[in-house]
Amino acid sequence: MPVTAKTEVVGVRDTIRQLNKIEPGLRKQFTADAARIAQPAISEVQASYVKVPLSGMARQWRDTRGRKLFPFDLGKARRGVKLRVDARRDALGVIYIQQRDPGAAVFESAGRRTINLLGLSLGPLERNHTRILGPAVFRRRAAVTREMAELVRDTMRRTQRSI
């Protein structure tokens, strides 16, 4: 469930791909630096999970295929907020923050595409984004974007010198 800020630095995907070819440790270091830069936004999202949204979410739910979605657990919801660096060709974003816990992801996006009873019970979505993740990340967007662009430029320079 990615929430992205639309900041484009041309060649980011190619630069990240080149890092593995030059030296695999550089890719790991880039991901660690990106996670450190995004930590204020991640911490704000984690701190925003303070209670189980609906009492029924504390019980076990399964989807139609039998996949376990709930119970909603605050600890798992907080631990599920992660930064992801994805340099695949078909990926929508390259660097983004996402919610990995299924129950919290359902809470974040229920009623986003279509109006449904669960979405209405959980409350409105801000500008059709998510309930907690999007607004918290957008509050920290300016500082994170500035530092992330600087990290990408430094990494691009490093890869250009190595090639």
Q: Catalogue the E-assigned strands of the chain.
A: 2-3, 61-62, 68-70, 81-85, 95-99
Whether 35 maps to a domain, the answer reads yes
Residue type, 133: L
Burial class of residue 67 in the structure, from the number of CB atoms within 10 Å of its CB (0-12 exposed, 13-18 middle, 19+ buried): exposed
Q: What per-residue confidence (pLDDT) applies to 5?
A: 46
Q: What is the pLDDT of residues 119-128, one digit of tens each?
A: 888 887 766 6
> Quick check: 67 and 106 in contact, CB under 8 A?
no
Q: What per-residue confidence (pLDDT) applies to 22?
A: 80
Domain that holds residue 19: 13-162
Split into its structural domains, the chain has a count of 1
* Separation CA 107–CA 57 (nearest Å): 9
Whether 112 maps to a domain, the answer reads yes
Whether 2 maps to a domain, the answer reads no
- Would you say residue 42 has pLDDT above 90? yes
- Would you say residue 2 has pLDDT above 70? no
